[in-house]
Amino acid sequence: MDFSPLKKVASAAAEKPILKNFEDPDRARQFSVSVGDMLFDYSKTSIDSTGRQALLDLYESADVPARRNAMFSGEAINETEGRAVLHTALRNLSGDPVYVNGVDVMPGVLETLSRMEAFAADVREGRFVGEGGQITDVVNIGIGGSDLGPAMATLALAPYHDGPRCHYVSNVDAAHIADTLRGLDARTTLVIVASKTFTTIETMTNAATAKAWMSASVANPAAQFAALSTAADKTAAFGIDAERVFGFEDWVGGRYSMWGPIGLALMIATGSDSFRAFLNGGAWMDQHFQLAEPLENIPVMLALTGIWHNQGLGHATRAVLPYEQRLSRLPAYLQQLEMESNGKSTSMNGKALDVNSGPIVWGEPGTNGQHAFYQLIHQGTRVVPCEFMVGAEGFDNDLAHQHRLLVANCLAQSEALMRGRSLDEARAIVSGKFEGAELERQAAHRVFPGNRPSTTLVYPKLTPFVLGQVIALYEHRVFVEGVILGINSYDQWGVELGKELAKALEPVVAGEMGTDGKDGSTAQLVKTVQRLSGA
């Protein structure tokens, strides 16, 4: 893909201050997408009509619609692994056929969903109990896609929790599971082990620790375990009854998997009605993504804005800034979704990319970030495109004034990033406090360069349906950017090498093997750890 025309028009457009674009009174409407109760505003960027056409040309050249149709049709678009990419089937509650190799996968999807709902209802309503009675706590043990998605969503939907308390353990650092289990009653705790292969070393290490913890006070600890896995032989060997094992196919990638069995803890916390609303929100976005024309398509325009900032203007990072405390884990979730998907250097044809791939994704919820890294965003030397999101309404009606303050802060930040503060305006602020050279020095510190781009997504309220819309929106954004970049967004070979080396290093750290063959730095670090730990 030739990005040089985009770079040329992006460079030319960036010479005009973003604020000047609003001399056109229709700018905001023309550079926004409004669908249902959701508004995506990208007018506070340097994208102009010429730039937008250049982006659409890339979209057409990459034949994104054909690739999209191939994905939804069950073709093996994950070409390096020979797999279909059908997390969308997990939220296809209509049951309309979806074929993989000529076989309709929907009966199996819906049967698994039905089993999940039955088990979740049994836990919530006290038919499935622990040795000490009704389940009060659920501990989900996973890592990566088996943790980040459901942990994020469980926090996001806190107002809908009416089931057992849910806890998530991912890190192999013993502190994570020790701190989580401390204070829980093993006799009323359900442990869910989430690992497709039931071999993920971090997950299985934590699972063994949890089982040992439960064994101290429960006669048959495996009876209070469930598994999200396709490895029936390994779950049986662990002692988990087949009726509490929920599998999913290889056409569901880990970071796209919370729509199915990986979302079991979320379903137990909020109930099947809320979980189905979450699925319906995702399905709504699927339909919108498939049917809407590019300029009226939120995932497409979100993706093209990202291409503009990263590949067009060379901005290496993007900040995701939800003004919603319950979305505090969304930036971390999107880090994995976007950076594991599009953090590649090899194109689909096996050749090196000749353009930067996906950006560094980071962020925190507002308003916390305003008192932390916003300093760099406003006055730092690097431009960081910002992606704000905010709900028009909160949940606590008696604290509505606080939500209004939250919204005001969100909208003010995007305006401030664009508008900035001139030296003359800064002088006016310090005039009368300082004089001469000191006035100039003090004023200089109060200048904001402005012209910093941002987008804003506004939704009505963070319901399960809206959360489903938002997550599916970002999934499709990743897809569009990946297709335009010419990469496979659905493999993750980059996570393998470090894991392989860690397995080989463990006996070295334990002192069972020497450091022969290791580089000087690694050998020194191993010996230092051994000395400090007394190994």
**Which residues are known to be catalytic?**
340, 371, 499
Q: In whole angstroms, how far apart are CA 533 and each of 171, 514, 530?
A: 20, 17, 5
For residues 434-472, one letter each, b for 16 or more C-beta atoms within 10 angstroms of the residue's C-beta and e for the rest, the string is eeeeebeebbeeebbebbbbbbbbbbeebbbbbbbbbbb
Residue 484 CA to residue 286 CA, distance in Å, equals 19
Residue whose structure tokens are 């997990």: 90
Instruction: Give the N- to C-terminal CA distance of the chain in Å, as an integer.
Output: 54
Q: In whole angstroms, how far apart are CA 511 and each of 172, 502, 507, 524?
A: 20, 14, 6, 13
Residue 133 CA to residue 260 CA, distance in Å, equals 28
What are φ and ψ of residue 133, in 5° steps? 115, -155
- 336: Cβ contacts below 8 Å, ≥ 6 apart: 144, 145, 148, 255
User: Do 448 and 420 form a contact (C-beta atoms < 8 A)?
Assistant: yes
Instruction: Classify residue 431 by its DSSP letter.
Output: B
- Amino acid identity at 11: S
What are φ and ψ of residue 432, in 5° steps? 95, -20
Residue 38 CA to residue 460 CA, distance in Å, equals 7
- Would you state the structure tokens that stand for residue 61, as one six-digit string? 């050249």
Strand segments, DSSP code E, in 394-494 are 454-459
Helix, strand, coil % in the chain, rounded to nearest 5: 55, 15, 35
Residue 503 CA to residue 15 CA, distance in Å, equals 52
Strand partners, 39: 34, 458
| DSSP string for residues in 152-213 | HHHHHTGGG--SSEEEEE--SSHHHHHHHHTT--GGGEEEEEE-SSS--HHHHHHHHHHHHH
For residues 22-55, one letter each, b for 16 or more C-beta atoms within 10 angstroms of the residue's C-beta and e for the rest, the string is eeeeebeeebbbeeeebbbbbbbbbbbeebbebb
